[in-house]
Amino acid sequence: MSQAADPPPGFDPRLKHSAGIAVLERGLPALPDVLAYTMSIPVAAWEATRCAVVLFLEFSRDSDGTVNPIVVMGTFTRDGNLWSADRHWLGVGWSHDPIASPRGLRDLGGRAMVGGGGSFTDRPASGHPAVVVTGRVRPAVKQISLIQDGREDRRSLRSHFGAWVVCTEQWSPYQINALGKDGSVLASLAGPPHLPDNHASGSG
């Protein structure tokens, strides 16, 4: 994949709010034939009862020309059947550049799943997530499940480049499992992390 000049509407960084709502309503868009470092690429999403998150892959460029991938965690609140974008979104570093290395798996270090950061607060506002966790998985992973408060929420992995994201409105112990085609657990992550002084935090 090489660079293109003008991002399509669903991949335009200036239109992330509407692009995120479109993802929640219709699913991830198909990737364009050509990807560019000027794009904001929706790569994964997760809906909870009253909140949701859409993960956008973007790129920043250092003064020496080095390109750094990041993901922006676009959060949304549901009112009835309608989604609205939250005012403040967070970004975290990302380990994979699919333009430079479309099928690269080196950042996984042989693991089936890795965590890539997130945002955490034990005092979430109504309709906002207490936890957002991001990461990447190998192609063998076909489902992601969230186990929390004695319940399992298992979903087919719908993503680009193996990206995944989970959000939950509850601040309580959870386990995120990466599952194979037969439902076997290939990897797990647990949380939430300890928050110093009981304040909200973001991590990369």
Domain-by-domain residue ranges, the chain?
9-203
Express as a percent the part of the chain with pLDDT over 70: 94
Distance (Å, whole) CA 183 – CA 14: 39
pLDDT, tens digit, 9 for 90 and up, residues 132-163: 999 999 999 999 999 999 999 999 999 999 99
- To the question of pTM greater than 0.85 for the whole model, the response is yes
Write the pLDDT tens digit of every residue in 92-113: 999 999 999 988 999 999 999 9
Asked if residue 70 lies in contact with residue 93, where contact means CB atoms within 8 angstroms, the answer is yes
d(C-alpha 159, C-alpha 114), whole Å: 15
Could you report the per-residue pLDDT of 52-79, keeping only the tens digit for each? Answer: 999 999 999 888 888 999 999 999 999 9
Does residue 4 surpass a pLDDT of 70?
Answer: no
Q: What integer pLDDT is reported at residue 1 of this predicted model? A: 44
**Pairwise pLDDT comparison (204 vs 119), residue with the higher score:** 119
Cite the beta strand spans of 19-171 per DSSP E: 41-47, 51-61, 67-79, 82-85, 90-93, 113-120, 131-137, 143-148, 151-156, 163-168
